[in-house]
Amino acid sequence: MHSLIYCSRESSKMSEDKLMALLKKARQKNEGCNVTGMLLYRNGFFLQCLEGAYDDIKNIFSNIMMDNRHKMITILFNDKIEKRIFPQWTMDFIKEEDLNSEIIENLKKFDFSNPVNSQEESFDLIKKFMFVRSAKNQQAA
C-alpha cells in the first residue's frame, strides 16, 4: 500500500461547477483502479491524499503533473503505508463550510503557498479532516 500527499495551486480560478466536475472524474478514475483518498480545496489551493498500489498512484500523479489546472505542485509525502486512512472514499471532499472551527483554524495556519510544511502538519490536517467526515457520516446514518 502506498500513499502520496501533495499540495498545488490552481492555475486559474475554478468555479464550483468545474471543481465538482474534477471531483467526479477523479472518483471515477480512482474507483477503477482501487485508489482512495481525499481532496481539500481552499482559496485556490489543493491538498490531496492518494492511497493505493504504487503503480496506480504513480499513474494518477503523472496525470496530475501534466494537468494545466495545477501549478506549484509539491509532494509532501510519498511512501509506503500500513493501511489506508480513507478506505471507503474514492475521493472524499468536504466544503469549507462543513468543517468545524478547529480545522478551519488549522487550515488558516497551514501555508499552502509554502511547500515547506512538514509531513506531520499535513498528516494532522488530513486526520482531522477524516474525523470530521466520519462524524458527519455517523450523523447522516
Give the domain range for residue 105. Answer: 2-140
Domain with 95 in it: what CATH number? 3.30.70.100
What's residue 51's pLDDT?
93
What's residue 113's pLDDT?
58
Query: What total number of domains does the chain contain?
Result: 1
User: Is the sign of the CA dihedral 42, 81, 117, 10 positive or negative?
Assistant: negative
Q: Rounded to the nearest 10 degrees, how much is the dihedral formed by the CA atoms of 79, 85, 87, 91?
A: -80
What's residue 4's pLDDT?
93
73-112: per-residue pLDDT in tens? 888 889 998 988 888 777 777 666 666 666 666 666 666 5
22-79: per-residue pLDDT in tens? 888 888 888 889 999 888 887 788 888 899 999 999 999 999 999 888 888 888 889 9
What's residue 103's pLDDT?
64
Cell of 77: 509525502
